[in-house]
Structure formats: structure tokens, C-alpha cells
Chain A
Amino acid sequence: MDIRSKVIEIIADQAIIETSDVSDESTLEGLGIDSLGLVESIFAIEEAFDIQVPFNANQPNESSFDLSSVATIVQGIEKLIQEQS
């Protein structure tokens, strides 16, 4: 499975919606994912791709990992896979 569809699957699962309702432009906030849901999504991403996502819930905006949309999350994962493999 490619990175994008796996990310969409994780996010849809977290937001309890269909994967077809998640697009590249979707934001986690827009899909109703709260702060607990966010850390759970990051955990699921780490498990799925065997990477470590730099994220501190105290400073969510200062993370080098851009969580603003599905597209930026996919890009971030691609970068981390390259760096950490």
C-alpha cells in the first residue's frame, strides 16, 4: 500500500469516517480529530511506517513535521523514511 492511502486510512479510522471523505487538502482539525486523536494518529503513523515523528504536544506548531494537511503529512513521512532508513 502506498503512503498516501495508508495515511488516509489512519486518519479516516481516527475520525470515524469513510476513506473517500478524506482528501489531500483535508486537515485533521477539519475532520474533527482532537488533541488525543492527533497523538494517536502520530502513533499509528509511526507504527505503520516504522519511523519516529518529531512531535511535542506542548508545541504542536514548532514540529518540523508539518501536520497541516494530508498532503503535508505524506510529504513529511516520505522525508522521514528517507532519513531514517
Chain B
Amino acid sequence: MKRVVITGAGTINSIGQNVSQTINSFKEGRCGISDLKFKDVERLSIKIGGQIHDFEPDKHFNRQQLSLYDRYTQLTLIAANEAIEESGLIFNGQLAASTGVVLGTAGGGVSTWDDNYRAVYEEGKNRVHPFVVPKLMNNAATSHLSMKYNLKGPTFTVSTACASSNHAMAQAFQIVRSAQSPVMVTGGSESMLCFGGVKAWEGLRVMSKDACRPFSLNRNGMVQGEGAAIFVFEELEHAKRRGANIICEVKGFAMSSDAADIVNPSKQGAARAISNALQDAQVNVEDVGYINAHGTGTAANDKTECSAVADVFGHHADKIMISSTKSMHGHIIGGTGAVELVACILALRDGIIAPTIGYEEQDPECALDVVPNEAREAKVEFAISNAFAFGGLNAVLVLQKV
């Protein structure tokens, strides 16, 4: 089995348009959740989200590209550009032939669906633009990334709701670890902050109207965000040979299915994913210093997650720092695990734990160190990143400092 390291990272989300801005926001505990701005927002009862307001697509893409790139693809390509540039890799010959792309997204081109349904249903139009299908499909971002950088290896999209990008990164990790490819580009993207996208979530009655306060007793639901994060996963020796800058190591992963309920999480399913991931990474529970929580800010997730962590880590659970950065960037659904991996990088590489902001009151059912409101300096050797999706699909990654 090969060892796998991260040699490039890129992101765009509501608290930063690249990794360094995002890291600064994590350090400052800055909230990117604001009033949503898009057509018909006044007809929603949920009017807040982690929307990227100061992003101008036409500064990055030409008209032809924009006709094919849904916003979720645009965000993917912005993040990928940063990650691949940082890695210093240029893809041609055998490297291009073996390098692939595995990305996660839950909804794909949601605003493309939304805009065109509006055109045919509401405006009564009888024709839509010919690129509607290639623009909205869940593999559009993956394919455009592959085309742009000449990546011809194993390439596909994973869609497991809120765990999509963790499942995707687990697949990419597996491909590099098993020596199938020396390099994989991976991560995830989501952009469903449009009328239909938010209206659908509103229907579930799990959304907060004012803030995302994970683990806080007065939490009242999740807040949606949008964004993307992309990473270059590379085989350790391959990275060393070319003198690459190594950000951190990916040590292991596990996936599990609750096989129980389509929306309610299960403590056992989450606990199995965490403990199997530690086993896969051959890491002792006492060595884990930081958990990037799924931490959605819903009543159900947060207590189930804390209880699963307590089960897996036993007494050590009291010493672990666990934070949810969704309090800052919102729940980026299929892209959330990828953006949250940036917080794991911050913990491992820079020794700074991103806080759970908006934390106001202790909840006895979430009695862990949730790093409330302020970032903290701490040396962390191992970090894990949790993602527990609707449908009971769980994926946990284990990372190590280099």
C-alpha cells in the first residue's frame, strides 16, 4: 500500500475565495452567513445562507464557457486552479494518462434546473438553451476539470448528499493508495442557493432562520452554504521525488450505512464509520487531537454525533477538540467535507483549531470541547473529518500532520 499526501489545496466559499482567505476567516471566526440574494427570495421563509456575494463569474470565464458552466462547475474550476497551481504539477504523458478526478456533489447544476424550469413553466417558454443537459449533469464539473487539465485517469462523480465529497476523497485516496494512479484530483462542490434549491430544503423544516449554532443548546437548525474545495492527492514518494510541498498526509478512511432511516442519523452508523476509519489508518483513539464535526446545527445531528464520538473515544472524548465550521460557511451539502478539510489542514499544518462560532449555551447532550467561538492554538498529530449524510451514508477521513 502506498502512502498518500496532499500537495495542493484550493477553495472558494462564503468566507474566502482561496485557501489563505478561508484560513484567515477560520482564525478570526468570521461568519459568511448573510441575507440571500437571488430572484424570488422574498417568497422564501428561509432567507439566509452562506452565499458567495463578491464573485464575478465573467471575470474568470468567457461567454462560451459560461454557457456550459453552471455555478457549481465555476466554483469547482476556481478551486481546482488554486490546488493544481499549488501542487506545481503539469499533466502530460503517463502522468496525464493515469491521473483522474473524483468529485462530490449532491445536486449538480441546481440553478440550471431552476432557471430552465422557470422559463418553461412560469414564463411559458417552449424552448430552452441546447446546453441545459451538459450544464446541469452531476458530472459536469468533474468532466470540465478533467478536460481543462488533461486528466485522463479514473474519473467520476460521487453523489451521497451531505457526505458526497468525503466519499469522493475516500475514493481518490483509495486509488492512490492502491497504486492505481500516482496522483488524483479530488474534492467537491455545491451551489444550490437559488429559489428552488432553498425552497426544497425549507420543506423539510430543519432550517434555521437566523444562524447556524452547532452544539449550542439554543441551536435551531442548519443554514445552507455554497462553495467548492479541491485537493491534489499524491503518492508520497512521487511527491518527494519532485520536491513537492507536502501539506499533510491522508491516513485512512471508512464508510458505513445506517440502513435505518432516510433522514434521521444513527449513532451506531456514525460510530462504526469513525472507528473503522481509525482502524484503517492504524491510529489509536488517544492520538486524535481534532475532529472536524459534521455539526449541522440540527437537534438530531449534533447530539447523535457527540454521542457517537463519546462511544468511540471513551474517556479521551473529553480531551478531543471537535468543531463545526458550518457555523461560518454554512452547510455546503455535497461540497461540505471538502471545504471542511481546509480546517483539518489548518489544525495539522498550522496548529490552529477553527472554532464553532455562534455558540451560546452548553447542551448536556453535546458535552464535548467544541472550541466555542474562538480559534485556539494546539498541536495536533491526527485529525478526522466526519460526514454523515441523509440516507444514512457516512464517510470519515483520517489525516496526519507531516
Contact = CB atoms under 8 A, between A and B. Distances in A.
Interface in B114-162: 127, 129-131
B64 A46 contact: no
Interface residues of A, number: 9
A38 B67 CA distance: 14
Contact of B130 (A16, A40, A52): A40
Contacts of A2: none
B67 A46 contact: no
Contact of B131 (A16, A36, A42): A36
Contacts of A47: 127
A39 interface: yes
B131 A46 contact: no
A36 B127 contact: no
Interface in A25-84: 36, 39-40, 42-43, 46-47, 52
A43 B64 contact: no
Nearest to A57: B130
Contacts of A52: 127
A28 B62 CA distance: 21
A36 B132 CA distance: 12
Contacts of A46: 127
Contacts of B67: 40
A42 B130 CA distance: 9
A81 B380 CA distance: 71
Nearest to B127: A46
A2 B60 CA distance: 34
Residue of B64, B67, B129, B130 most packed against chain A (CB within 10 A):
B130
Residue of A40, A42, A46, A47 most packed against chain B (CB within 10 A):
A40
Interface in B93-132: 127, 129-131
B42 to A, nearest CB: 29
A22 B127 CA distance: 27
B102 to A, nearest CB: 26
A42 B307 CA distance: 58
A39 B64 CA distance: 13
A70 B131 CA distance: 23
Interface string B46-73: 0000000000000000001001000000
Contacts of B127: 43, 46-47, 52
A35 B252 CA distance: 45
B137 to A, nearest CB: 14
A36 B130 CA distance: 8
Nearest to A47: B127
A40 B68 CA distance: 11
15 contacts: A16-B64, A36-B130, A36-B131, A39-B130, A40-B67, A40-B129, A40-B130, A40-B131, A42-B130, A43-B127, A43-B129, A43-B130, A46-B127, A47-B127, A52-B127
Interface of B: 64, 67, 127, 129-131
Q: Which 3 A-B pairs have the closest CB atoms?
A: A39-B130, A43-B130, A40-B130
Given A40-B129, A46-B127, 9 more contacts: A16-B64, A36-B130, A39-B130, A40-B130, A40-B131, A42-B130, A43-B127, A43-B130, A47-B127
